[in-house]
Amino acid sequence: MTVTEPLDPRTAGRRYVTACVLYWFPVGLAVSPLILLFTERGMSLATVAAFFVAHSVTAAVLELPTGGLSDVLGRRAVLAAAGLLNLAAFVLQGLGTAAWVLALGMALMGAGRALSSGPAEAWYVDTVQAHSGPDAELRTGLARGGTAVSAALAAGTLLGGALPWLLAQGGSAAGLSRATSGLVLPLSAPPLLGAVVVTGFVLYVLSALPEPPRPPSTLSSVLHGIPATIAEGVRLGGRDPLIRRVLLSAAAAGGALAALELLTPGRAASFTGAPESGAMLFAVLACAGFLCSGLGNHLAPLTARLAGSGERAVLAGLGAAASGLFLLGATAVAAGPLALGLAVLGYGLVYLGLGAAGPSQNDLLHRRVPSAGRATALSVQSLALQLAGALTGLLVGVLPSGPLPWLTGGAMLLAGALLWIRRGAPEVAKPTHLGAEGIERV
């Protein structure tokens, strides 16, 4: 497809938001029923944990290579590949009965997650800057994309939890199981519905996200270009102080989120007094967290205007998120309605603050890297978040219960916020250009 003129920013923004919704809504569908589906298939909790390890390890190992692939082959092709991997993953999760099939489904979803981390956002920034120049306003569009992701996850989580219950209440469960010889359960419905939606995502990406033609790529050129782009992406943080702060802030957020996600289910059960009601409270909290994150994304441009710069907006957002975790730590050994209310407030503050900081951080990042390395830079950012999250999860797991694990996550976020007190490089700066021959400061 030959494109003579890039899309205008408004149209590009609408298509970017639509792509975000179509990708993340199916992911949200699988959040609530997945573990229960695996256990219904006869898997032990240890086996289920191994499935999630397969997902995390695959995503981490492929994070940088797939970012480089997007910068070499193009955003649209890599996004479509991510959708196809998720399609296969949802089908295997919904219909699989053997452990190796379910593990393969989780690994494929991890590969899809790695492929998807960056290309859509990079496509949007490339398109807007091609139309309006390198100084084009990006924060609003990035904020709307973040809001769309959060809203899609929230809606998907609610529907994914309600759909199996509705099927069971309607008496369809027994007929469904008989008709498919037990292959399709009510809990299978959300991932199978996700497979349908993600098919629409692939078709939308291929038809609605145009990009300029890239030089013809052979297998040799792709294999040669990816390592060079990866190496340059890793060097970005060491060379540019502002990018280094973005990456360290992502690591702080990853550590805080790992603590929050590991500790909240048990905290919810302790408040309600039973694991079943605790699981219900956690589902509601997860949905509320996604909505708070979306609200924070929506408020990010206003936060930057009120704060006076994107850097101060990041400081304010991370500071608010840290205060939320400190509030959770302060109420860790308390009981009663007041403690519950303060804990819920703290939980919402974490997601609200991180949502408000994210678009400003990425706006700063995109003004420092060129199109040739944009998806790789986003992959490095995602990798920093994931690695810090994994290490923090191990640490939180060995800390004694009580305030300390929560305060550890809060301290990490506070450290990330303090990075932005020092005034760094200007927000609009000439980017570092990445090329096959090496690095060239322009």
Q: Which helix (H) or strand (E) holds 440?
A: strand 438-441
Q: Tokens 């909290």: give the residue.
A: 285
Phi, psi of 72 (to 5 degrees): -90, -50
Helix crossing, 374-398 with 337-366: angle to 10°? Answer: 150
Cα–Cα distance for residue pair 41/34, rounded to 1 Å: 11
Residue 211 three-state SS: coil
CA 369 → CA 232, 243, 363, 375, distances in Å?
11, 9, 10, 10
Q: What is the pLDDT of residue 278?
A: 54
* Phi, psi for 202 (deg, rounded to 5): -60, -45
pLDDT of 398: 75
The secondary structure element, H or E, covering residue 77 is helix 75-95
CA distance 39 to 45: 7
In whole angstroms, what is the distance from residue 336 CA to residue 328 CA? 14
How far apart, in Å, are the Cα atoms of 428 and each of 124, 129, 134, 306, 356?
A: 18, 13, 9, 19, 20
E-state strands within 362-425: none
Whole-Å CA distances, 420 to 50, 309, 319, 415: 38, 11, 10, 9
The pLDDT, as a whole number, for residue 71 is 67
Given this model, what pLDDT does residue 93 score? Answer: 93
Rounded Cα gap, residues 371 and 18, in angstroms:
22
Looking at residue 441, its pLDDT comes to 25
| Residue the block writes with tokens 């360290």 | 248
As beta bridge partners, residue 435 has: 438
Give the pLDDT of residue 289. Answer: 86
**Which amino acid is located at 353 in the chain?**
G
176-197 pLDDT tens trace: 666 666 677 888 888 999 999 9
- pLDDT score of 432: 46
Residue-by-residue pLDDT tens, the chain, 442 positions: 444 577 888 999 999 999 999 999 999 888 777 877 887 888 876 777 678 778 777 887 787 666 667 767 778 889 999 999 999 999 999 998 899 999 999 999 989 988 887 788 889 988 988 888 888 888 788 888 888 888 898 888 878 877 877 777 666 656 666 666 667 788 888 899 999 999 999 999 999 999 877 666 554 655 565 666 566 666 766 677 888 888 899 999 988 988 887 777 667 767 766 544 555 576 678 788 888 988 888 888 888 888 888 888 999 999 999 999 999 988 877 777 787 788 889 999 999 999 999 888 888 888 887 766 676 777 778 778 877 877 777 787 677 778 888 899 899 999 999 999 865 444 444 444 433 323 222 2
- The whole-number pLDDT of residue 215 equals 63
CA dist., res. 375 & res. 115, Å (int): 10
Q: Name, in order, each residue with C-beta under 8 angstroms of 334's C-beta and a sequence gap of 6 or more.
A: 342
Looking at residue 220, what is its pLDDT? 60
Tell me the residue type at 222. Answer: V
For the purposes of burial, counting CB atoms within 10 Å of the CB of 136, is it exposed (0-12), middle (13-18) or buried (19 or more)?
A: middle
- The SS3 assignment for 433 reads strand
User: Can you tell me the distance from the alpha carbon of 356 to that of 352, in angstroms, rounded to the nearest whole number?
Assistant: 6
What is the per-residue pLDDT for 275? 45
Q: pTM higher than 0.85, yes or no?
A: no
d(CA 66, CA 74): 11
Token readout for 430 is: 């000439």
pLDDT (0 to 100) of residue 2: 44
Both structure tokens of 410? 């809060």
Q: Report the C-alpha gap between 316 and 296 in whole angstroms.
A: 11
**Phi and psi for 336 in degrees, rounded to 5?**
105, 170
Q: List % helix, strand, coil for the chain (3-state, nearest 5).
A: 80, 0, 20
Residues 6+ apart with CB under 8 A from 19: 79, 120, 201, 204, 205, 208, 209
What is d(CA 229, CA 295) in angstroms, rounded to the nearest whole number? 34
Tokens of residue 382, six digits: 């995602």
Look-up of token digits 């699981």: 279
Q: CA separation (Å) from 148 to 18, 155, 278, 339?
A: 8, 10, 28, 31
Rg (CA), the chain: 22
Query: What's the burial of 84, exposed, middle or buried (CB within 10 Å: 0-12/13-18/19+)?
Result: middle
pLDDT tens for 59-116 read 877 876 666 677 677 788 899 999 999 999 999 999 988 999 999 999 999 899 888 8
